């Protein structure tokens, strides 16, 4: 765990606070406290510490946490996020991930449309006939689904 001290300003106005608590970060990003601590443990986030020892997050870390939370909601695994946020990646890993997700979603939509057409023409018996093959992209996505927070 990396501890980075953050300097505090005299102002207590929420707009001018230099750092927010982990609870406030959780509320803003939708990430659980456990997830935020995990992101710190694996090096995705860096929390500062208040004199009491409590975690706090500056503007840069708030933005990074929001990005991580969004990518997790989209289904991107944390190792891929870690690689994508490296300076050398320049967003290419995120683009590849999103392209793959779009292709999987398109394949699933095609399968859903075919299933609906089979249902409308042959009823429930038509759905079980196996006339529409299972998409490899759909199977791959199902195999790697994880908790997204």
Angle between the N-to-C axes of helices 59-73 and 33-41, in degrees from 0 to 180, rounded to the nearest 10: 110
Polymer length of the chain: 149
pLDDT of residue 40: 95
d(CA 21, CA 54): 8
| Ordered per-residue pLDDT tens for the chain, 149 residues | 555 555 544 444 454 557 999 999 999 999 999 999 999 999 999 999 999 999 999 999 999 999 999 999 999 999 999 988 887 778 888 999 999 999 999 999 999 999 999 999 988 887 777 555 555 554 555 445 444 33
pLDDT of residue 96: 92
In this prediction the pTM is: 0.68
Number of H helices, E strands in the chain: 7, 4
């Amino acid at each position: 765990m990396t501890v980075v001290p953050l300097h505090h300003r005299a102002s207590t106005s929420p707009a001018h606070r230099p750092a927010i608590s982990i609870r406030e970060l959780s509320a803003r990003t939708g990430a659980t406290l456990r997830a935020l601590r995990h992101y710190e443990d694996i090096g995705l986030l860096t929390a500062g510490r208040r004199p009491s020892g409590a975690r706090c997050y500056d503007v840069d870390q708030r933005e990074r946490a929001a990005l991580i939370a969004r990518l997790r909601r989209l289904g991107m695994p944390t190792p891929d996020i870690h690689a994508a946020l490296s300076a050398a990646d320049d967003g290419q890993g995120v683009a590849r991930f999103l392209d793959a997700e779009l292709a999987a979603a398109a394949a699933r939509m095609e399968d859903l449309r075919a299933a609906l057409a089979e249902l409308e023409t042959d009823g429930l018996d038509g759905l079980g006939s196996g006339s529409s093959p299972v998409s490899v992209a759909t199977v791959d996505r199902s195999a790697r689904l994880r908790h997204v927070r």
